[in-house]
Amino acid sequence: MLKKMMFVAALSPLAMTAVAHADSITVAAWGGSYQDALRASFFEPTAKELGITIAEDNLSTGLADIRLQVQGKSVRWDLVDISAEECVAGEKEGLFEPLDYNIVKSDGIDKRLVGKSWIGFVYYSVVLAHNTNSKEATPKNWKDFFDTKGFPGRRSLGNFPSETLTIAAMADGTHVDKVYPIDLDKAFAKLEELKPNITAWWSSGTQATNLIMDNEVDYGSSWNGRIATLKASGAPVDWVVEGGVLNADCLVIPKGAKNKDLAMKALARFVSPDLQANLPKHAANGPVNVKAFETGKLTREEAAKVISSPENLKKQVLLDPQFWGDNIVGIQARWQNLVQ
């Protein structure tokens, strides 16, 4: 009896892998309403077009998930959505399959978001938001935000060095085009100065918006999608697009993916202008491919509201994944000391 049970137990992992057919790929993303939007915009149209099944899974920590699968030689995912910084880091580690740019067309995508083994996918932005019931004067830009005399209110910023140091680089009104390469010493000094006025360093999108909505702080940084949704639902919040830190998620095919050829075809569709143009209908995230705005799928009014419309791109700064891929490890200790 025991032997029989052990035999079944030994077989069960095989049984699980057998589910993945040749005409199916598994895509992993961040779950929740974000993944619902990806499904409607990209997964379903692509599955239909290519006649394949797109199975889905959720990431738990991001790059570390892929690292575990690649190093453990049990790659379950064919296509994964992670942050652009992680893409740069993962490429250095050789965790991804190189992309075939004969199949994947990258025109319309910012060159800084096109790597050898990764490509930009969707945009979101870290914007300056505030509580409209606050008695304090409203900061209009990051320069105001760092002016504690003119704006003595309570503040919050993300506990993420790349986003928050990019914001700090705009503390004395630096134009969005001149932010990179960031003068890190100066940016750290600005944050050190502001620190006594920081109530919280948030670590999730919900926390960022709740801090502002619940009047725990008067103003702070927040992901554009969540704050826009809250505003639309009538919460006492507002935000400005000027000075937003545009951040990209990117797509990769983990090294050793079982269906990498099919994944390459699906990836090519995901970044194509016509499917990219679907995204704003389902989420506050923006297309990474500017050609999406030329497809005619979005009206002028609709396009103007998209965080990555050509007009809005000019007002924001792109978080340079290469810069952070090169610098993040070195500044982590400084960052920890700052937020203590």
Partner 1 sequence: MGNFTLAKQDFLLFGPAILLLAVLCYWPLAWVALQALTVKGELSFTTIATVATGQIFWVSTLNTIYLTTSVVLITALVGYPLAYLVSQASPLWSYTLKFLILFPFWTSTLVRTYAWVVILQRDGLLVNAMRMVVPDMTPVSFLNTRAASTIGMVHIMLPFFVFPLLASMESIKRDYLRAAESLGAKPIIAFWTVFFPLSLPGLLSSVIMVLMLSIGFYIIPIVLGGGKGAVISMVIEKSLSLYPDWAVASSMGLLLLLMSAVALTILNALANKAQSIWR
Please tell me whether residue 86 binds partner 1 under the rule CB under 8 A: yes
Letters for 152-191 (x = contact with partner 1 by CB under 8 A, - = none) are -------x--------------------------------
Do the Cβ atoms of 120 and 84 come closer than 8 Å?
A: yes
**182-195 per-residue burial string, b: 16 or more CB within 10 A, e: under 16:** bebeebbebbeebe
Q: How far is the CB of 20 from partner 1 (least distance, A)?
A: 25
How many Cα atoms occupy the beta-carbon half-sphere of 16 within 13 Å? Answer: 8
Residue placing its CB nearer to partner 1 in the complex, 220 or 273: 220
Considering beta carbons, is residue 106 or 215 the nearer one to partner 1? Answer: 215
x-marked contacts with partner 1 along 92-131 as a string, rule CB under 8 A: xx--------------------------------------
Work out which of 41, 43, 62, 126 binds partner 1, going by CB under 8 A.
62
* Piece in contact with partner 1 (CB under 8 A), picked from 28-36, 58-66, 119-127, 266-274: 58-66
- What's the min distance (Å) between Cβ of 50 and partner 1? 32
- Cβ proximity to partner 1: between 11 and 68 the closer is 68
210 binds partner 1 (CB under 8 A): yes
* Closest CB 329 distance from partner 1, rounded Å: 6
Single out the residue of 214, 281, 310, 314 in contact with partner 1 (rule: CB under 8 A).
Answer: 214
**Site membership for partner 1, residue 67 (CB under 8 A):** yes
Tokens of 194: 């502001």
Question: Which is closer to partner 1, CB of 233 or CB of 340?
Answer: 340
Question: Which of 184, 194, 235, 339 is close enough to bind partner 1 by CB under 8 A?
Answer: 339
Buried b / exposed e along 228-258 (16+ C-beta atoms within 10 A): bebbeeebebbbbbbbbbbbbbbbbbbbebb
Note the residues at the interface with partner 1 (CB under 8 A): 61-64, 67, 86, 89, 92-93, 159, 199-203, 207, 210, 214-216, 328-329, 332-333, 336-337, 339-340
